[in-house]
């Protein structure tokens, strides 16, 4: 595109002010060259101590301890050519960041262009804008792990394009819309699959004004209440992954998955409440193909639903207490192994306490997360204690 294009700003003149370098705790290092270019370098690491209590056996519990760098992120962001054309690259470098057998450290890589007051375009790899509790920023979580229904039923990251507006039909509008089309295979693919696509739509309503619903808790202890209501729907055609865009791949064949979610975020005077109900339904319960020896192979898809309720309260000074309850349900006829897992560990109870030194950018966290059967059999459940330090700089 030529420099004379009306889309982007004209090049900076030779006698313009020199670039500015800014450094702020929690906000990284920013190189600002005015309207034409800016770049921010930010890093984040999470140190975790985890003690696991697996189901009790006749000889007692076989405790497992993990002390590690749970996650390590490096992000580059800013704008190029025009302040309305932004970019973000996020790399995840810790061992546990490599999930589902991935060999790439790329988590996010996208361009975001605000074309008009009512229309922005995002293209690249990023969170699919489907359900709220998955798209809460990973650096802004109140508990060590996301709720089990979210981990199982979400759409996570994928490569695609989204048209969206945060304030549709007016700067003070309470309505936000998002429409996206993605590849449907999840992030960092290195091999091909049968052609398909993931289509997603989401609508959000903020009737009481703007709200930071992409971060847990009400750390600002805002004096006026804020509320966000959201609903999303998606369909993934010809996916070869067990959880639609995540998990293992099927050895042969593909399926279609339908997804739906409704969610709520409320914040006021240190109190924060989140709730979500999410569904995933496969077009078929089983896939039949031939294995490498020519023998019939039957694979099961995973259909289910779940809900989450999470509440927290921040005192002044910034000490926070948080609790969560969730339930995961397997659909009739779905993967028997998935159904057994849900029957044993489908109920989750979590409680934690956090101390915020610099908001979500520097915090100490401690929690207990327990997953049990519908009868809440503690001895047969899975329990984990976490103590962690989360640092963004």
- Cα distance between residue 122 and residue 106, in whole Å: 17
The three-class DSSP label of residue 191 is coil
> Minimal CA–CA distance to 137: which of 69, 75, 52?
75
Q: Which residues are within 8 A (CB) of 272 and not within 5 positions of it... i.e. 6 or more apart?
A: 216, 217, 218, 265, 266, 311, 312, 313, 314
Residue 306 has what pLDDT?
98
Residue 92 and residue 221 in contact, taking contact as beta carbons nearer than 8 Å: no
| CA 318 from centre of chain | 25
Delineate the domains of the chain, giving CATH numbers in brackets. Answer: 44-392 (2.40.160.10)
- Cα distance between residue 182 and residue 168, in whole Å: 23
| Cα distances (Å, whole numbers) of residue 297 to 122, 252, 293, 334 | 40, 8, 10, 16
Q: Which residues are within 8 A (CB) of 34 and not within 5 positions of it... i.e. 6 or more apart?
A: 12, 16, 17, 19
Task: Tell me the helix, strand and coil percentages in the chain, rounded to 5.
Answer: 5, 55, 40
66: β partners: 50
Q: What is the DSSP string of 27-41?
A: TEEEEE-GGGEEEEE
Judge residue 128's burial from the number of C-beta atoms within 10 Å of its C-beta, 0-12 exposed, 13-18 middle, 19 or more buried.
buried
| Cα distances (Å, whole numbers) of residue 171 to 117, 160, 168, 190, 362 | 8, 26, 8, 41, 32
Residue 1 has what pLDDT?
42
Residue 2 has what pLDDT?
45
Eight-class DSSP state of 345: H
Farthest-apart Cα atoms in the chain, separation: 79
Q: What is the pTM of this model?
A: 0.91
> Minimal CA–CA distance to 325: which of 343, 312, 315?
312
Residue 16 has what pLDDT?
61
Residue 235 has what pLDDT?
98
Tell me whether the omega of the peptide bond preceding residue 388 falls within 30 degrees of 0, making it cis. Answer: no
Exposure pattern of 26-35 as b/e (b: 16+ CB <10 Å)? bebebebbeb
Token pair for residue 63? 């405790």
Residues with pLDDT less than 50, the chain: 1-5
Eight-class DSSP state of 46: E
Residue 4 has what pLDDT?
45
Residue 282 has what pLDDT?
97
pLDDT digits (tens, 9 = 90+) for 93-152: 998 888 777 789 999 999 999 999 899 999 999 999 999 999 999 999 999 999 999 999
């Amino acid at each position: 595109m030529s420099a004379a294009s009306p889309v982007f700003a004209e090049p900076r003149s030779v006698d313009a002010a020199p670039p500015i370098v800014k450094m702020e705790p929690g906000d990284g290092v920013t190189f600002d060259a005015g309207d034409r270019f800016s770049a921010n370098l930010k890093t984040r690491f999470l140190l975790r101590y985890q003690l696991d209590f697996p189901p009790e056996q006749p000889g007692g519990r076989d405790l497992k301890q993990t002390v590690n760098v749970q996650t390590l992120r490096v992000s580059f962001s800013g704008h190029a050519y025009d302040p309305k054309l932004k970019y973000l690259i996020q790399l995840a470098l810790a061992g546990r960041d490599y999930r589902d057998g991935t060999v790439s450290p790329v988590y996010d890589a996208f361009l975001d262009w605000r074309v008009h007051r009512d229309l922005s375009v995002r293209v690249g790899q990023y969170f699919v804008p489907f359900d709220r509790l998955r798209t809460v920023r990973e650096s802004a979580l109140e508990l060590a792990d996301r709720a089990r229904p979210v981990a199982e039923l979400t759409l996570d990251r994928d490569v695609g394009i989204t048209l969206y507006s945060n304030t549709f039909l007016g700067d003070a509008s309470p309505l936000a819309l998002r429409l996206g089309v993605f590849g449907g295979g999840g992030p960092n693919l290195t091999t091909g699959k049968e052609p398909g696509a993931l289509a997603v739509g989401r609508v959000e309503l903020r009737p009481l004004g703007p709200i930071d619903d992409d971060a847990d808790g009400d750390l600002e202890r805002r004096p006026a209440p804020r509320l966000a209501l959201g609903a999303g729907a998606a369909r993934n055609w010809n996916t070869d992954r067990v959880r639609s865009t995540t998990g293992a791949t099927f050895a042969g064949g593909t399926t279609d998955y339908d997804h739906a979610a409704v969610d709520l975020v409320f914040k006021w005077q240190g109190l924060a409440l989140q709730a979500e109900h999410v569904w995933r339904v496969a077009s078929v319960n089983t896939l039949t193909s031939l294995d490498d020896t020519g023998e019939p192979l039957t694979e099961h898809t995973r259909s289910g639903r779940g809900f989450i309720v999470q509440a927290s309260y921040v005192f002044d000074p910034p000490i926070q207490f948080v609790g969560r309850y969730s339930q995961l349900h397997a659909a009739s006829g779905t993967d028997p192994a998935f159904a057994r897992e849900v029957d044993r560990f489908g109920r989750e109870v979590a409680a934690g306490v956090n101390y915020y030194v610099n908001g979500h950018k520097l915090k100490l966290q401690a929690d207990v997360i327990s997953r049990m059967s519908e009868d809440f059999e503690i001895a047969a459940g899975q329990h984990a204690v976490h103590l962690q330090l989360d640092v963004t700089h």
